[in-house]
Amino acid sequence: MVARMSQPSFLSRVLKFIRFSHTVFALPFALGSMLVAAHGLPNLRTILLILLAMVFARTAAMAFNRVADWEIDKANPRTAERHRLVSKPVAIGLVIAPAAAFVFTCWFINRVCFALSPVALGIVFFYSLTKRFTSFTQFFIGLALAVAPVGAWLAVHGQLGWPPVFLAAGVLCWVAGFDLIYAIQDYDFDRKRGLGSMVVRYGVPQSLRLAQIMHAALFLCLVAFGVSARLGPIYHASLVLVLGALFYEHRAAARLDVAGINRAFFQSNAFVSLVFVLATALDVMSNA
């Protein structure tokens, strides 16, 4: 009885399966884009629909990744436990139901978001297949997360502008950079299995340098976003904190310590996204 009660619940296993805690990475950039587009807080209905769309799209994308990589993950010591969290039919259900819910939610947002919802799903699903035919998988996962700020802007405005374009480019570079660092853990496995990765293609030292270049590009994109969105000193001063967090992440990566990489990966990137949304909110609200 005690052993049975100590088993994690179905919900906790699902949340772990889709790495729900990593929602903290992309969601703040979507919220920041939303705040700038609305020049403050939009109505509660729009906020809730954006949050629902984000959760549904990310859940479907992560579950699709798990289904697509089911056999690969079983063979990788780092990810071997994933397929034991839920059954494959449940995982497939976690793709279909949230994907349908995402499209349905977009229908309530506006015509543009509804029309583009299949495109958004195609982009976030496509990343999971890229390791089979290209080494530039890090750019495709970056593209998948870059959809978030563009979608949030369209949910408010209904048409594109320069701020979400700069922010999407920044998110792409940010994610590509930190995934280059994260992928170091799978370097030997991916190389032996013939899986595409920039780390496999260029090696660990060169990949770390590429990650630094990507994060430098992120910084420039965040500056461009602030200028194009006419944000003030609060936002631009916060970029110093972003630089500090990225510096911490790259120092940890340079030691090639797996535990340190994992810790820096979550802490520094969560810090970057939270600083971004808080600074954007403070700046927008102070000028509203």
User: Where residue 77 sits, what CATH number does that domain have?
Assistant: 1.10.357.140
The CA dihedral of 43, 44, 50, 52, to the nearest 10 degrees, is -160
Provide DSSP, 119-181. Answer: HHHHHHHHHHHHTTT-S-HHHHHHHHHHHHHHHHHHHHHSS--HHHHHHHHHHHHHHHHHHHH
Q: Is residue 101 scored above 80 in pLDDT?
A: yes
| CA 123 from centre of chain | 13
What are 229's two structure tokens?
A: 């969105």
Contact 211, 256 (CB under 8 A): no
Q: How confident is the model at residue 2 (pLDDT cuts 50, 70, 90)?
A: very low
Q: Is residue 73 scored above 70 in pLDDT?
A: yes
The answer to the question of residue 234 being in a domain is yes
Number of domains in the chain: 1
User: When comparing pLDDT for 21 and 19, which is higher?
Assistant: 19
The answer to the question of residue 4 being in a domain is no
**Domain range for residue 143?**
13-286
The answer to the question of residue 7 being in a domain is no
The answer to the question of residue 3 being in a domain is no
Question: What pLDDT does residue 6 have?
Answer: 59
Mean pLDDT over 254-266 rounds to: 69
The answer to the question of residue 223 being in a domain is yes
What are 118's two structure tokens?
A: 């299949």
Contact 209, 254 (CB under 8 A): no
pLDDT in tens, 129-167: 999 999 999 999 999 999 999 999 999 999 999 999 999
Question: What pLDDT does residue 257 have?
Answer: 67
The answer to the question of residue 6 being in a domain is no
Question: What pLDDT does residue 259 have?
Answer: 63
The answer to the question of residue 1 being in a domain is no
The answer to the question of residue 8 being in a domain is no
